[in-house]
Amino acid sequence: AATAAVVTQDSLLNVCMDAKHHKTEPGPEGQLYGQCVLWKDNACCTANTSLEAHQDQSYLYNFNWDHCGAMPEKCKRHFIQDTCLYECSPNLGPWIDQADTSWRKERIRDVPLCQEDCEQWWEDCQDAVTCKVNWHKGWNWTTGTNQCPKGAMCQKFKFVFPTAAALCEQVWSGSYRYTSHHRGSGRCIQMWFDPAQGNPNVAVARYYA
């Protein structure tokens, strides 16, 4: 039984989820672009995916951040960072769950985000505008990109997501969980970190595995 436990634990560490653009196994990527560069030593994303993560309407998911008018840059950088973490991180194994969609077999659920990462995301996005709480479903895709469904009103994030926890937990239907843990505690996943100091999320995945 002990060996089985070890095998299970190891299978949660340093893995890529089975989703639309992920590599089958993590490894070094010399040319990761922009905000995704943090993961270049060991990544689940390709250079091309990292480049596309920064496009306003990338072919990754044809998702349009500007569905209620232009999203401010200071807000958009958090969504880009969230995309980089999702596509590139090999440290999300403990939270990989089955997904029932045509475009991916696995997704993440309840990833414990560090309080600062979540608060800053909300802070920088509170005046951005959206028409939906859950961005995973319910859009009008008739044009090939997401548009607000009929009758949905565009409002500031702070009214759609009254708290940082509401934003982090609801926007991607429970992919993240708001925590009171702080960066560097080894108990929460950081969307942002200094790669020169190494990747703090390796230890966090190990702790939860």
Residue range 69-122, pLDDT digits in tens: 999 999 999 999 999 999 999 999 999 999 878 888 999 999 999 999 999 999
Residue 4 covered by a domain: no
pTM of structure: 0.93
Residue 2 covered by a domain: no
Burial 42-78, CB ≥16 within 10 A → b, else e: bbbbbeebbbbbbeeebebeebbbebbeebeeebbbb
Residue among 168, 143, 167 nearest 156 (CA): 167
Rounded Cα distance between 123 and 38, Å, is 23
pLDDT of residue 9: 65
Q: What is the pLDDT of residues 1-58, one digit of tens each?
A: 455 545 456 788 999 999 999 999 999 998 999 999 999 999 999 999 999 999 987 7
Residue 182 covered by a domain: yes
Based on the structure, what is the number of domains in the chain? 1
- In this structure, what token pair is assigned to residue 38? 């943090």
Domain, as residue range, for 100:
9-208
| Site of tokens 């689940």 | 44
